[in-house]
Structures are given as C-alpha cells and as structure tokens.
Amino acid sequence: MSINKHLSLQDRITIENLLNQHCSFKEIGASIGKDCTTVSKEIRKHRAIKESGGYGRRYNPCIHRNTCVQENLCEDLSCKSRYCCRCTRHLCYNFCPSFTEERCPKLEQPPYVCNGCPDTLRCTLKKKFYSSAHAYHKYKELLSDVRSGISTNPEELERLDQIISPLIKQGQSIHHICINHADEIMLDEKTIYNYIGNGLFSTCNLDLPRKVRYRLRKKKKEVKVDKSCRKGRTYQEFESFMKEHPDLPVVEMDSVEGTKGGKVLMTLHFCQSQLMLAFLRDHNTASSVTSVFDEIYARLDPEKFRELFPVILTDNGSEFSNPGAIEFDSDGNRRTYVFYCDPSAPYQKGSIENNHELIRRVIPKGVTLNSLSQDDINLMMDHINSYGRKKLNNRSPHQSFGFYYGEEVLRKLSINQIPADHVTLIPKLLKL
C-alpha cells in the first residue's frame, strides 16, 4: 500500500469506474493501493453537485412536489400549466413560500454519491456525483493555491514588519492595514496575526487589545491570492478573445527569481518578434509590477503603449494579482488586457519560458540578483536580444522588433544592438 502519495488521475478514474460498479470503499482502496478512509475522504471532498431532473421530469427538490396545488406563483399570465410544480418554464421553488427541500438520505451514507444508483434516471432531487476529471481539476487548483504566495524568509519578514508594526502602534487594526496596503503585503489577516503571535514582528499581542480580549475563533483560511482577479481573464477567455481579435500581438509576462526573498526580475516577452524586456524589482509584490508598467507607460505615449501591449498573458503568481492596475492608467483609461494561464500550465506561455533559458545562461538558477543593477540587466538583455534566432529567419529579436515598431521605440525602451561576434551569454558578462 502506497503511503504519503497523492492520488493520480488514473487512481481517480479507477475510483469513478468502481463506484459505478457498486464496489465498496474497501474494494476500491485495495484496487488503487490506498486505505478505505482515503477513498472515503476523496469522494466526499470532491463530489460535484448536479441539479437535474429524471427521465421526462424536470428538476424539483421540493418535498411537496407530488401533492402541490399552488398556481401562478411567478405571476406569468401567459403560462398554461395549471399547477406550478408541473411548469417547465419556471422554477416554482424559487417563488414558493412553502418550499422545503427534500434531500436524498442515501447521500448521507456510503458511497455518499449517486454513482451507480439505479434511481438516478427517475430522481428529481439534487444529485452528487464523483467525476475523476472534476476531482483532478480541483486537486490541481488546490495544489496551485498551496504553492502560491511569498516566502517568509528573514528579509521578507523585516520588510513586512516595517510596513505593519508602525501602523499597529498608531492604533490601526490589522484589517485596516490589509485593505490599504494589499498590494504590498499580499497576506491574509490570519497569517499576520500568526506572525505577530509567534513573535516574528517588533509588535506583539499586547499592541492588539482585541486580540488579547477574545478567544481564538476557527475561521476558514483564505487564499493568498485574490482569485476574483481572474474572473473574465481565464485562459479559455483569452482564447475566445484572440479568436475575435486574431491580429493583436500577445506579450507574455513572468518572473525570474534569484534567491528567495531577494531581488526579482519581471520579464515581458513579445511573441511576434521574440524580444524580451526585463526589469529588476526589490520585492516580488503586486505594487512593484504596477510600478514597472507605470514606468513603461511614462516612457511611451499612450497610443504606442496600447500598440505594443494590447494583450498580456501571465501565470497565477501572487505578484500579478492586481490586473486592474495594469489594465488601466491613473485616469481610468484602458491601456491593455490581462489574462491568466491555467494553474500549473506553463506550456500555455511556452515562448517566454523558452527564452528564460537564455537568462539562465548568464544568471544560473540559485544565483542572487541582489548585487545587480538595472543597468546590468539591460546589458544582459541587449546581448540576449541581439542573439540570432532560427525561427526569425536567422535575424535577431532586436532586428525583428525594430522592423515592426521602429528604432525610436527601441531607444525609448533602452534597447541597444550588440554586434553578432560580441554577443556573450555566460556569467562572465555580469562578472558573476
């Protein structure tokens, strides 16, 4: 029996198939090499709710549906159904004051789902199914959430302490600080309380009068990244947007770390010309990303900015969790559209991931960026952008970008051409 191993997609497919065959949890567990309690937890955790009717019957979970004589609940005079419970045009239970939901008692006992139930085709109640595809998708989302967020190393704690502790000592609450410094902190309130309680900040619990007055209450932990920022910006919506605007060029965005807690690069990759920009940031926060775009916006006129950055595709990193500040300028004018790749799907922006290999030739993984300046980064990117590419018909990204947008834009973005024989892509370039 495997121990401390996550369920794979094949394991979940096996669970779904055996549930449809009325197998017990013990039989399922033996088939995939897991304990029966693991199977039970997996099924209950990843059940998908389905509101559907039975064969020839619409969905109606009301306990009175077979005896109900209510009429005209929705006040639709054109409705020809005599009784509301038999109407196929409206959901009467949304209007009825006597509605009482009936729940299937079979869902309160193993196997906790409707898989394999012989009454499914006739049932008009709320159903719960175990789907291997749905369960695996939820698992990958959870895995992404757990791995997202900033590292709590000494340098990062010191930075957070300098923001939070003085405000607490002024009498401000944790909630007030979080809502006014969300882009800089990017932690939920519970995490900050834990840091203070564990003595990681210069302030302490005695500076929080309500903290020492109340007992600790259980509360569901919030995710570190505001997931609502991705509404309307998913990869599927990106594909739909590009079908409607096939001529718009795409810019991919990502981060490159040196050492945890140190300086970080933000990279912007123009897929059409293969040219890449890189900006050195002191901290991997959403506010630092916004500052980079504000700087680029100031260098270029608004029209040129919209021409260069019409669509931006990025990953789900916490530093990219404020897309509104990127999409709109300080006057509320739209300057770009931001979309997100699916969790754990870097191949959806494979162009920038491949180009990062050139950065790693100069700055190997694990080497700190703290000793570097933006001038050093610009020098490195000049060499990378002057490197000939087969996919560009042996031209360099610098030449290709200049062809599309002109030399004036290259000058404003501080991009210089390096002679082909002088291109250097080893750590010696930055004396690392």
pLDDT attached to residue 77? 65
pLDDT beyond 80 at 96? no
Q: How far is CA 180 from CA 160, 167, 171, 198, 288, in A?
A: 14, 11, 15, 24, 16
pLDDT for the residue numbered 223: 37
Q: What is the pLDDT of residue 130?
A: 94
DSSP readout, 134-185? HHHHHHHHHHHHHH-S----HHHHHHHHHHHHHHHHTT--HHHHHHHSHHHH
Confidence label for 180 from pLDDT (cuts 50, 70 and 90) = confident
Nearest residue to 316 via CA among 223, 207, 205, 199: 223
**Stretch 384-409: mean pLDDT, rounded?**
92
Q: Is the pLDDT assigned to residue 87 strictly greater than 90?
A: no
pLDDT digits (tens, 9 = 90+) for 200-251: 788 887 787 666 555 555 544 433 445 567 888 999 999 999 999 999 999 9
> pLDDT (tens digit, 9 = 90+) per residue, 115-124?
989 888 888 8
Does a cis peptide bond (omega within 30 degrees of 0) precede residue 111? yes
pLDDT, tens only, 302-326: 999 999 999 999 998 888 888 988 9
What is the average per-residue pLDDT within 358-362?
A: 93
Residue 432 pLDDT > 80: no
| Structure tokens given for 117 | 């139930």
Q: Residue 224: what pLDDT?
A: 42
Q: What is the pLDDT of residue 82?
A: 66
If you average pLDDT over residues 337-346, what whole number do you get? 90
Average pLDDT value for residue range 382-410: 93
For residue 33, pLDDT beyond 80: yes
**What percentage of the chain reaches a pLDDT higher than 70?**
87
Is residue 327 predicted with pLDDT exceeding 90?
yes
Distance, CA of 233 to CA of 176 (rounded, Å): 28
> Would the pLDDT of 199 be above 90?
no
- Per-residue pLDDT band for 80 (boundaries 50, 70, 90) equals low
Model pLDDT, residue 50:
87
Question: What is the pLDDT confidence band of residue 349, given thresholds at 50, 70 and 90?
Answer: very high
Predicted model pTM? 0.56
The span from the CA of 390 to the CA of 79, in Å, is 67
Higher pLDDT, 101 or 215: 101
Residue bearing the bigger pLDDT, 299 or 79: 299
CA 341 vs. chain centroid, Å, equals 8
Structural contact between residues 338 and 242, judged by C-beta atoms closer than 8 angstroms = no
Average pLDDT, the chain: 85
Task: Give the contacts of 128 (CB within 8 A, at least 6 positions apart).
Answer: 47, 48, 49, 50, 107, 112, 113, 114
Residues 52-58, mean pLDDT to the nearest whole number:
77
The ranges assigned to domains in the chain are: 9-61+103-145, 154-213, 231-430
Q: Which CATH superfamily is domain 231-430 in?
A: Ribonuclease H-like superfamily/Ribonuclease H (3.30.420.10)
